[in-house]
Chain A
Amino acid sequence: MPQIFHPSMNTISRATIFGAVFIIGFIGWLMGAVVRSPYATSAGVIKEQPVPFSHEHHVAECGIDCRYCHTSVEDSSFAGIPPTQTCMNCHRELWTESPILEPVRASYRTGEPLVWNRVHDVPDFAFFDHSIHIRKGVSCATCHGAVDRMPLMHREATLHMEWCLECHRQPERFVGPRELVFASAASPADESKVAQSNWIEAYHVQSKTDCSVCHR
């Protein structure tokens, strides 16, 4: 009986069998990579806004504290987006003719609010609370990155659940002194203060990973 398969089939079949493993593995890796890529997460992607507001200018150059605009960050789940009035506190005096600021002035004049595109948007089934993280010594920069070096705002982190859990599983890596929570990332951290104490114990940080902490 003649051979049905040429001996080269041995190689081909081996390559196919092992290749399939590699191909499946590759597809798995590719999916993971796409899901974590800025394409899917919008991390690092600058969103168009009605006014090209520069955090770099206002925070690093003017030295305005986060809480001047994000007033409810210590009290509420939502950090707060400033009302037009807050912008106009300064801009009724400064850059009053600037065409870039026309939407702000228009809003103030007409009473029509500005409509911003949300940059940090966790899914609606996840409930995040700013105030408790601030209170427990998680600085703004931990999640939002070096906002004071961002001329235009973008998302620094993926906001994936694995990213949240990174801190919730090992809070000691991220929790720092309360005094430095609002410190800009660009300013050098006071090493003596950071090294001084065990913040986890001092602030009674509970590394909660129960589902209902965020999902309810």
Chain B
Amino acid sequence: MNSNFRQPDTASDVPHRASDGSQFWRSLEELEGDDAFFVALRREFPEYANRLTDGATRRQFLQLMGASLALAGMQGCVEQPQEKIVPFVQAPEQIVPGKPLYYSTAMTHDGAGIGLLAESHMGRPVKIEGNPLHPAVPEIMSAAAETNRLRFGASDTFAQASVLSLYDPDRSQTVLRDGQISTWDAFAAELQATLSTLAEAGGRGLRILTETVVSPTFADQLRQLVELYPNAAWHQYEPINHDNELLGSRLAFDADVQTIYHVEAADVIVSLDADFLADGPMHLQQARGFANRRRVDSTGAASAASMNRLYVVESSLTVTGAAADHRLPLAPRAVAAFSLRLAQALGLQLEASESAENATSVGDQIPQEWLDAVAADLQQARGRGLVIAGRAQPPFVHAIAHWINATLGNVPGSVEYVEPIAARPELQLDSLRDLVNSMRAGEVHALVILAGNPLYNAPADFHFAAALENVPLTVHLSQYEDETSARCRWHIPELHFLESWSDTRAGDGTVSIVQPLVAPLRSGKSLHEVLATLLGNFAASSYEIVRSYWRSRLEAQSTEANSDVVWQQALHDGIVANTGSPAVQPTIRGDFAAVLGRQLSLSLPAGEGISVVFRPDPSLWDGRFANNGWLQELPRPLTTLTWDNAALMAPATADALQVKNGNVIEIIVEQTAISIPVLITPGQSANVVTLHLGYGRERAGRIGNSVGTNVYPLRSSGAMWHAEGAEIRATGRTHKLALTQHHHVMEGRNLVRAGTLTEFQEHPEHPAFMFEGHVPAEDVSMYPEHKYDGYKWGMVINQAACIGCNACVVACQAENNVPIVGKGQVLNSREMHWLRIDHYYRGSPENPEHYHQPMLCQHCELAPCEPVCPVAATTHSSEGLNEMTYNRCIGTRYCSNNCPYKVRRFNFLDYNRELRQDAVLQLASNPDVTVRSRGVMEKCTFCVQRISAARITAEKEDRKIRDGEVVTACQAACPTEAIVFGDLNDAGSRVRQESASALNYSVLGELNTRPRTTYLAVVRNPNPALR
């Protein structure tokens, strides 16, 4: 109870610390050698986490313990409850109980679709994979996949977590009128009455507000609506939109285009504040293309030509910046100035003007040698270079990126242009402004908001809530009864994409049919159904609407006699063939320099003080995923923050403001103030504070309410992405931030190996960085050697390919029924993720190098956890898996104590209780994996249920399991194929090849644990001119 057995209380018995900047480090505290940090580090769990804090006396404690012991003993005597079997009355075709079915569908996010395969068990979707036939989705193990029946594609965190949102008990269930339960018929009647009065004036006063529309069916319905009501208007708004890209292409080409980046084709990539590895409609393909050019083989000569080089200039640390060979943190203004200077260095002739000089002066902090190196590299890689501008950058930066790509001949090699995929490309900020102005003027009689939450996320200076008061009839379709619903007369529950029909378009325009997996779990309507109601069709189902649109379109286009065949094929494949946007060849406008010069004066405000940068949250996006527990508890990439947002700032900025981690500060932008805790982030630009959108929701649901701070009040229409001249004041208050980076720290050993391409080429067989400072393992054991005659499962994680995007972590959580524990438990180091992404730094805290290391059970051949288990609950399998048998585990936690990798997770509390008790939520769990209860240890199993399934399939066909037939959940999700799994006894397997690489190493190999999970060292390709 009160004893801290073997927990050191002084720093003196702590041996290692990484105070030398040339070493790898994991946090600023470690780098500075903070004593309190090292004391905490030696504890598995924080101080007092193991103490009774509710004041129970010793006697009460013994009584309680005695009672629990007696009850624990009695648990085995509980009679097994009678289980029922409920067969079908008429068995549906294809459903075989116990076998999952996969259906192709698609999810629309950020104005583009991503193709998915949904795994359905007896009609309930439990897991999402990417659809490899979809153009936005790279295939996993494509070489091996040919022979396998089931092929997987990569996916991202949002797609992985979408299945939990489907079962969210907080989703809205009923039509509401002024907050009171009402019916769809009552709504339809009132709408009809209003429409009939509006119809006389051609629908004047009827306004529709949607998010970015890409669905062809929805666009067709809107077209019909405009025909029916010529004076009605349709507006689009999403808080995270593509306005800057659109304006940029108009500026450069005088045309609207959709840009597709072929990252794999590029030798030199320059990102101007673009997080292209994790953001954008084709980010999965971009990440794959990037990673494919980062792999080095043992023949160093070949890799010199094949390896790309990435320069990132950015104002806020992103996963793309973390993957860069050279990263330059700059203030947002300076990024813009950098792009201008880069264009000038590449030959752009700007007329001398005040604005051009202004740009030059802003760019004072840009190191000249950096600029020269980038320009020279781009020049040298003519036709094989790529410049990408980020969505937060002003339009002229996008125009400059287009100009550079055109000038250097990178089009069509690494850049391709197609016609826009959006149904109506427009500036969404202007569209919303028009709407709000009309609302204020009293011109809007009926406003139908189809998805979106403008009351929460519209620019603060639009005062959307006040404008809404002037509209007599307001209708809001939404999955949750959210902030906007609360202020609208009607709220209609929206269906999830896994329970209604629709269609969407990929980043290249290819259409996917969104196919539902289940009948609606709660009563609701889809976008199509509500729009059909406006068109006077009150009973149409989504299926009829989507099907009839495609029937007429396919019959008009298809050469196939029977359009049903085409439809069926499209449903099966997940894409409608030949629907990609037509390619276009836009040319840079003749008066480019002059037009650009005019734009500059608008785009480069001279500002003093601290810049505030707004970014979509990597987990919650614009706030729409706030009620998804998996995403809330997901350690955010790079910061490892959970259940919160914070003001990210550089160490120097924090020093200047005299604040520390967790200190609450007040940020004031133009008389508006918010209070938010500080999180010091190495690599953040100086004098730039990054704020993530999507937090501080008031009506998100039980999970998302009041988590973090709402930063939208600071975001005005003039400062959508960054605000200048912010004032910051310390409040003296503190706030606990649940970071996972310090949990399970492995002390000062060098756990990451990294070098440069030049170093690698010196000794491709024995790169020096693989051995320096590392103790070789002595291959001895007191235990008898294991023999592996059959399969020998192993995993290789390529750290050079890992971008730290977190898709694997959510995929693991979904596949293995890993519970969420809540912020309080995360603060006690009790998060349950089987897979975590450790983040290492090297170099100065101002701009360190970043390394990711996905860490999961290493499945050691000489596992330290196995011999210490008193009940043989953790054992070694004949195929080398380190098995965890939950029903045997009595919770001694000796195994976790003895694990050098700290990958075992203990169920301190019954984290799954809510899951078991909620009839709907429990449908989300994977039936192939046990749901663990309190008092049980758990950890990564190498997805043993998938191995089992593959083994049974193979054995029934009297053959061995093929390479690529077992794909673990983390591997299947990974866009860059950083994770490879397979049989090490199979000479042809990919995992065997990668484990034989000269860059392969075992983490803590010197402990002679002989891990089955090995890593490939990071090789970076820095420019020698910048060394």
Instruction: Determine whether the beta carbon of B886 is less than 8 Å from that of A215.
Output: yes
Q: How far is the CA of A24 from the CA of B291 in the complex (A)?
A: 66
Judge whether A212 and B941 touch: CB under 8 Å. yes
User: Does chain B have a CB within 8 A of A95?
Assistant: no
How distant is the Cα of A201 from the Cα of B928 in the complex, in angstroms?
30
Residues from 53 to 83 in A contacting B, C-beta threshold 8 Å: 72, 75-78, 80-83
Q: Which residues of chain A are near B15, meaning CB under 8 Å? A: none
Decide: A113 and B86 in contact? CB cutoff 8 A: yes
- Report if A118-B82 is in contact (Cβ < 8 Å); known contacts: A210-B879, A210-B883: yes
Q: Closest CB-CB distance, B788 to chain A, in whole Å?
A: 12
Q: Which residues of A contact B956 (CB under 8 A)?
A: 131-132, 135
Contact present for A131 and B952 (CB under 8 Å): yes
User: Can you report 8 residue pairs joining A to B where beta carbons are below 8 Å apart?
Assistant: A76-B99, A83-B89, A84-B88, A118-B84, A131-B956, A132-B952, A135-B955, A213-B948
A75 near B99: Cβ-Cβ < 8 Å: yes
Q: Does A14 contact B (CB under 8 A)?
A: no
**Do A116 and B84 have beta carbons less than 8 Å apart?**
yes
Contact string, A105-128, partner B, CB cutoff 8 A, digits 1/0? 001100111111110010111110
How many B residues touch the partner, as a band? Answer: 35 or more
Residue in A108, A135, A206, A216 whose CB lies within 8 Å of B928:
A216
Give Cα A108 to B941, complex, Å: 44
State whether the Cβ of B83 lies closer than 8 Å to any Cβ in chain A: yes
Q: Does B731 contact A (CB under 8 A)?
A: no
Q: Is the CB of B83 within 8 A of A114?
A: no
CB < 8 Å neighbour of B83 from A118, A132, A206: A118
A4 close to chain B: CB less than 8 A: no
Q: How far is the CA of A72 from the CA of B88 in the complex (A)?
A: 14
Distance between Cα atoms of A131 and B885 in the complex (Å): 23
A-contact bits for B777-793, CB 8 A (1 contact / 0 none): 00000000000001000
A81, A108, A210: the one within 8 Å of B881 (CB): A210
A37 at the interface (CB under 8 A from B): no
Chain A: number of interface residues, binned into ranges: 35 or more
A208 contacts B98, CB within 8 Å? Answer: no
Q: Does A154 contact B (CB under 8 A)?
A: no
Cross-chain contact B96 with A124 (CB below 8 angstroms): no
Residue B305 lies at the interface, judged by CB distance under 8 Å to chain A = no
Q: How far is the CB of B792 from chain A (nearest CB, A)?
A: 13
Contact residues, A152-200 vs B (CB, 8 A): none
**A1 on the interface (CB 8 Å rule)?**
no
Give the residue name and chain of the B residue nearest to A129 (CB): B952
In the complex the two chains form, what is the Cα distance from A78 to B930 in whole Å? 17
* A108 & B89 in contact (Cβ 8 Å cutoff): yes
In the complex, which of the residues A83, A129, A215 contacts B930, with contact meaning CB atoms closer than 8 Å? A215
Residue positions of A touching B, CB distance < 8 A: 40, 47, 72, 75-78, 80-86, 107-108, 111-118, 121, 123-127, 129, 131-132, 135-136, 204, 206, 208, 210-213, 215-216
B941, A83: Cβ atoms under 8 Å? no
With the chains together, A210 CA to B948 CA distance in Å? Answer: 12
Whether the Cβ atoms of B887 and A125 lie closer than 8 Å is yes
The answer to whether A72 touches B881, judged by C-beta atoms less than 8 angstroms apart, is: no
Q: Give every chain B residue within 8 A of A136 (Cβ-Cβ).
A: 955
Residues from chain B with a CB closer than 8 A to the CB of A131 are: 952, 956
B944 touches A84 (CB 8 A): no
Q: Measuring CB to CB, which residues of chain B are less than 8 angstroms from any residue of chain A?
A: 79-80, 82-91, 96-99, 790, 875, 877-879, 881, 883, 885-888, 928-930, 941, 944-945, 948, 952, 955-956, 958
- Within the complex, what minimum Cβ distance (angstroms) separates A129 from chain B? 6
Residues of chain A within 8 A of B885, CB atoms compared = 211-212, 215
Task: For the complex formed, measure the closest distance between the CB of A201 and the CB atoms of chain B, giving whole angstroms.
Answer: 12
Which of A80, A135, A215 gathers the greatest number of chain B CB atoms within 10 Å? Answer: A215
Chain B residues near A135 (CB-CB < 8 A): 955-956
Residues of A within 8 A of B86 (CB): 113-116
* B948 & A216 in contact (Cβ 8 Å cutoff): yes
Is there an interface contact between B89 and A113, defined as CB atoms closer than 8 Å?
Answer: yes
* Inter-subunit contact A81/B89 (CB<8 Å): no
Does A75 lie within 8 Å of B96, measured CB to CB? yes
Distance in angstroms between the alpha carbons of A124 and B81 in the assembled complex: 11
Given contacts A77-B99, A80-B97, A85-B90, 4 further A-B contacts (CB under 8 A): A113-B88, A125-B887, A211-B877, A212-B883
B866 smallest CB distance to A (angstroms): 12
CA distance A83 to B83 in the complex (A): 18
Q: How close is A106's CB to chain B, nearest CB, in angstroms?
A: 11
- For B82, list chain A residues within 8 Å (CB): 47, 117-118
Q: Which residue of A lies closest to B942 (CB)?
A: A212
Contact across chains for B90 and A124 when beta carbons are under 8 A apart: no
> CB-nearest residue of chain A relative to B81?
A121
Choose one: A84, A129, A132; the contact of B90 (CB below 8 Å). Answer: A84
Which 6 pairs between the two chains have the least Cβ-Cβ distance? A78-B98, A76-B98, A210-B877, A77-B98, A83-B88, A118-B83
Residues of A within 8 A of B89 (CB): 83-85, 107-108, 111-113
Residue contact B887 to A72, C-beta cutoff 8 Å: no
Given the complex of chains A and B, what is the CA–CA distance between A215 and B884 in angstroms?
8
- The smallest beta-carbon distance between B97 and chain A, in angstroms, is 4
Q: How far is the CB of A127 from chain B (nearest CB, A)?
A: 7
Q: Is the CB of A123 within 8 A of B948?
A: no
Known contacts A72-B96, A116-B85, A118-B84; decide if A124 and B877 are in contact (CB<8 Å).
no
Contact check, B98 vs A116: say whether CB atoms are below 8 A apart: no
Q: Which residue of A lies closest to B99 (CB)?
A: A76
In angstroms, Cα B889 to Cα A211, docked, is 12
Contact A82 B98 (CB under 8 A): no
When the two chains form their complex, are residues B98 and A84 in contact, meaning their CB atoms are under 8 A apart?
Answer: no
Chain B residue contacts of A212, Cβ below 8 A: 877, 881, 883, 885, 941, 944, 948
A114-B24 Cα distance, complex, nearest whole Å: 64
Contacts of B945 in A (CB 8 A): 127, 216
Complex CA–CA separation, A208 to B948 (angstroms): 12
Give every chain A residue within 8 A of B875 (Cβ-Cβ). Answer: 210-211
CB neighbours (8 Å) of A124 from chain B are 930
With contacts A124-B930, A131-B952 taken as known, whether A83 is within 8 angstroms of B99 at the C-beta atoms is no
Cα–Cα distance between A121 and B80 once the two chains are bound (Å): 9
Q: Which of B87, B878, B883 has most A Cβ within 10 Å?
A: B87
Is A123 touching B80 in the complex (CB atoms < 8 A)? yes
What residues on B are CB-neighbors of A81 within 8 Å? Answer: 85, 87
Shortest beta-carbon distance, A87 to chain B, in Å? 10
Query: What's the nearest-Cβ distance from chain B to residue A116, in Å?
Result: 4
**Contact residues in B for A77 (Cβ distance below 8 Å):** 98-99
- The residues of B that contact A113 with a CB separation of less than 8 Å are 86-89
Q: Who on chain B is nearest to A84 by CB?
A: B89
Nearest-CB distance from B818 to chain A (Å)? 14
Within the complex, the shortest CB–CB distance from A32 to chain B, in Å, comes to 13
Among B82, B97, B888, chain A packs the most CB atoms within 10 A around the CB of: B97
Q: Nearest Cβ in chain B — how far from A133, in angstroms?
A: 10
The smallest C-beta distance from A28 to any residue of chain B, in angstroms, reads 15
Q: Within 8 Å CB of B928, what residues of A?
A: 127, 216
Verify A84–B87 contact, CB threshold 8 A.
Answer: yes
Alpha-carbon gap, A125 to B884, bound state (A): 12
Known: A121-B80, A123-B80. A76 touches B87 (CB 8 A): no
CA distance A123 to B948 in the complex (A): 18
Among residues of A, the one whose C-beta sits closest to the C-beta of B932 is A125
Q: How far is the CA of A85 from the CA of B877 in the complex (A)?
A: 44
For the complex formed, measure the closest distance between the CB of A100 and the CB atoms of chain B, giving whole angstroms.
Answer: 18
Q: B969 CB to closest chain A CB, in angstroms?
A: 13
Q: How far apart are A126's CB and chain B's nearest CB, in angstroms?
A: 8
B955/A132 in contact, CB under 8 A: yes
Which one, A116, A125, A215, contacts B87 given CB within 8 A?
Answer: A116
Q: Are the C-beta atoms of A115 and B84 separated by less than 8 Å? A: yes
When the two chains form their complex, are residues B80 and A83 in contact, meaning their CB atoms are under 8 A apart? no
Residue from A75, A80, A111, A216 within 8 A of B929 (CB atoms): A216
Is the beta-carbon distance between A125 and B886 smaller than 8 angstroms?
yes
Cα–Cα, bound, A115→B86 (Å): 5
Which residues of A are found within 8 Å of B930, using beta-carbon distances?
124-125, 215-216
The answer to whether A78 and B877 touch (CB under 8 A), given A83-B88, A135-B956, is: no
Which residues of B have CB within 8 Å of A129?
98, 948, 952
A195-B790 Cα distance, complex, nearest whole Å: 28
What's the minimum C-beta distance from A83 to chain B, rounded to whole angstroms? 4
